[in-house]
Amino acid sequence: MIRVIIIGGGASGLMAAITAARGGAKVTVLEHQNQVGKKILITGNGRCNFTNTNQDLAHYHSESLLNMAIALKQFTCQDTVKFFKDLGIFSKNRNGYLYPHSDAASAVLDVLRMECEHLKVKVACQIEVTSIEKEDGIFKVHTPGWTYESEKLILATGSKAAPATGSDGSGYILAKSMGHTVIEPYPALVQLLSRDKCLNTLAGLRADARAILFADEKPVISNRGEVQLNANNISGIPVFQISADAAKAMAAGKKCHVILDFLPDFSEELLNSYMKERICTGGYKSAVNFLTGLFSKKLSEILCERCKFSKKLVAEKFTEDDIINLCKQIKSFKITIYGTNGFEHAQCCGGGVSLEEIDPLTMESLKTAGLYFCGELLDVHGDCGGYNLQWAWTSGYLAGKAIND
């Protein structure tokens, strides 16, 4: 019976453990937290969006797109749904975002733990791995109190994101010790920091908008949804989706800003015409009150302030330039950013162990036979919407399956 040690008891580590044990391996999971799967419990705001039916590769990001794509084809969203259905999870579909029918992330973790127990997977918690080595075909995993030995080793330690759940970046050190290249990690799916004074007034505002990232005045990426403005940052899913590109651009020394389009369904020409229609029926209103019904009072005040409108100005006195300026502010509200929140606030990381040094069909190291990688430790991160968990399930399954092949 092949012995396999899995360092890390998160989503990918548990998937690898179950798959390897089903194939007949003797599996030991070493977890340095007091329980496995802590990060699973906070996914999807505690509901666990465990995959997504829209598996366009544009939702995944890596320096090695080909290897990433090859891996993702081996264990798909449909495979994930069947895997969890067999464990007892009946899925609920919200516009392609799949959740357990109970809307409880704990259910996903519970069925994974039940299956591990059923398969006699040994789980040891509060174990700190200090180093790993391979000697005479045997992996030795050193901890302060014991040295574990196995024929196969899977690193599933996670990234540096959300360290409170156990992802402390220690896996990068272990990977480097085995000769692997680690692409510098950076926070992804995270808030973008700004010193713009308008945010003090707008703090707490939520609005449907398109967020467009610019780096050195060139558009990079955009996303639409509910944006949240805070006193020192901008947040919300659209911001999270563009945050990794922002982090990379700023790390390269580029100056970045975000343009918020507060009426993305309108072209500037159509918005100009609509504003003139509103003047016909509400021209007696002050500039701020003129925007009531479109935006909150706080946002209306800031828009008028940026247009330099007098508080006494009424809409029927708008000049053509005033209307053009107002439309520009609504469609191109600029917020300068200087950084991202740290790893402690990030949902995942960009960067990680290079896929160029991994067999995409098995997740096995191309440098050390019998060594495998899975999950966030690798240089793959996904958009919000279940994509990071799908990568965890895919890579964990491939590593676990390869143990017995």
- Percent of the chain exceeding pLDDT 70 equals 100
Does pLDDT of 166 surpass 90?
Answer: no
**Alpha-carbon span 395 to 266, nearest angstrom:** 42
Does pLDDT of 405 surpass 90?
Answer: no
Average pLDDT over residues 116-127: 98
Res 300: pLDDT: 98
Q: Is 392 helix (H, G, I), strand (E, B) or coil?
A: helix
Res 355: pLDDT: 98
List, in sequence order, every residue forming a beta bridge with 235; answer none if it has no partner.
Answer: 228
Residue boundaries of the structural domains of the chain: 3-185+348-403, 191-341
Res 329: pLDDT: 98
The length of the chain is 405
Res 273: pLDDT: 98
Does pLDDT of 39 surpass 90?
Answer: yes
With residue 182 as reference, give the H or E element that holds it.
strand 182-188
Res 175: pLDDT: 98
Q: Match domain 3-185+348-403 to its CATH number in 3.50.50.60, 3.40.50.2300, 3.20.20.10, 2.60.40.10.
A: 3.50.50.60
Res 47: pLDDT: 96
Q: Is 394 helix (H, G, I), strand (E, B) or coil?
A: helix
Unique residue bearing structure tokens 């330099």: 308
243-302 per-position pLDDT tens digit: 999 999 999 999 999 999 999 999 999 999 999 999 999 999 999 999 999 999 999 999
Does pLDDT of 164 surpass 90?
Answer: no
Contact, 308 vs 318, CB < 8 A?
no
